[in-house]
Amino acid sequence: MCSPKNVDAMGVSVADPAVQQGAATPALINDLVIANHILADQGIVDAFGHVSVRHDKHSDQFLLARNMAPGAVTEADIIAFTLDGNPVNAGSRSVYLERFIHGEIYRAHPAVTAVVHSHSHAIVPFSVIKDVPLRAMFHMAGFIGQCVPIFEIRDVAGSGSDLLIRNNALGTALAKHFEESDIVLMRGHGSTVIGRSLRQAVYRAVYAELNARFQSMAMQLGNVTYLTQEESKACANTVEGHLARPWDLWKQQAELKRRNS
């Protein structure tokens, strides 16, 4: 009997490995759905972009929605993947092409529990300017630090790629940039943010976009006073100790919008 197959975002058939033993906790799946809705409601993702969480029963797997707009994700759309990016239980559902971003980050960084990849609007300009780094400039974004690294895909894929992380080799190259930073810009593409919890990763994705927006505005006014390394660390330690506050608010706002739509 043939094993079930699914088709990825580019129409390539991908075989499912054996169905996993031990499904993820329903609460974790629900939180991942909520994370998708929050990121969409906050304008971090639109029809594109994705968020994942490490499987709570299998540390060598992660959960990610099928290939779809994040704002429309439901529990039934969540799929488990191996760190190689192979779907475990996709069936006939199509999967994101850039799932390799997530798998290779989880492989390289065992402490990472959640990953957000987006093309948020204020971030993209900083990905193409080499002499003006994205830096923490207000206390809610201390995690950004002093200089966000930029992943240059040309260094790995040459000058003719579509800028997408479409295989494990590109995912591995990107993952190396997180050794010194919790956020990495991707030249001409967007950014990827990591966290030790789903709430932390979502928080960081939202406030990275806000910091980029504020930094652009401030630079038009004059010389910017950025956070020092010590201030960045202190701010991150303090503010990120209260992640339930923005999560609960954003969840309520996203759920209200869905009910009224």
Active-site position among 75, 98, 179, 180: 98
What pLDDT is stored for residue 11 in this prediction? 39
75 is catalytic: no
Written out in words, the top-level CATH class of the domain with range 7-247 is: alpha beta
Position 21 confidence tier, pLDDT thresholds 50, 70, 90: low
CB contact at 8 A, 123 and 44:
no
Q: Provide the residue ranges of all domains of the chain, joining segments of one domain with +.
A: 7-247
What pLDDT is stored for residue 258 in this prediction? 86
3-state secondary structure (DSSP) of residue 157: helix
Position 7 confidence tier, pLDDT thresholds 50, 70, 90: very low
CB contact at 8 A, 55 and 24:
yes
Digit-coded pLDDT (tens) for 34-82: 999 999 999 999 999 999 999 999 999 999 999 999 999 999 999 999 9
pTM, 2 dp? 0.91
CB contact at 8 A, 211 and 136:
yes
What pLDDT is stored for residue 64 in this prediction? 98
Closest CA to 147 of 159, 157, 133, 126: 133
Question: Whole-angstrom distance between the N-terminal and C-terminal Cα of the chain?
Answer: 44
